[in-house]
Amino acid sequence: MGYGFTVGAVVRLGRYAYSPGLFSGSGAEEERMVARALELTGMTRFADQNVLTLSGGELQRTFLAQLFAQNPRVLLLDEPTNHLDLVYQKQVFELIAEWLNIPGRAVVSVVHDLSLARAYGTQALLLDRGAPLAYGVTERVFSKENLNRAYAMDVSAWMRGLLSQWREEKP
């Protein structure tokens, strides 16, 4: 995306399938859906800003707004927080969680970060070299046995070791 596209224009593209024609302009319903998507993602104040000037998190939220403007029942996402700082990862997953509050909606997403998958996923499919190893409720799929097999290492020991670095320092 570039060449002068604003955030609002990118989000408006999400409504293209609902517009009556290429040159007919956008109707009130389309503009309402675009405004709601911008509001939901916290991107309203960026509506007139060129997408080339956005941070990675702002750009990702712009693309989520474009998806939300389509008013889909299912989102298919591939690493929605890839290359994002922690604060943006949290924002994106919280946005998706909020979007899911409306009954009848679902998200299918590829997530390699086990912590995010466990924190936000309700169902999980764990692969072992591309083949299904376990599917079901995330907590059961992420058993120590399944994770150790999929990653060929003691995952929980490694994760505990990483977390231990964040313990408060003793005086």
pLDDT tens-digit readout, 9-35:
999 999 988 776 655 556 888 899 999
Q: Which parts of the chain register pLDDT below 50?
A: 2
With 0-12 CB in 10 A as exposed, 13-18 as middle and 19+ as buried, what is 66? buried
Tell me, yes or no, if the pTM score tops 0.85: no
Burial of 139 (0-12, 13-18, 19+ CB in 10 A): exposed
Per-residue confidence (pLDDT) for residue 57, from 0 to 100: 86
Architecture of domain 7-121: 3-Layer(aba) Sandwich (3.40)
Q: What pLDDT is stored for residue 27 in this prediction?
A: 82
Token reading at 24: 């007919």
Percentage of the chain modeled with pLDDT above 90: 70
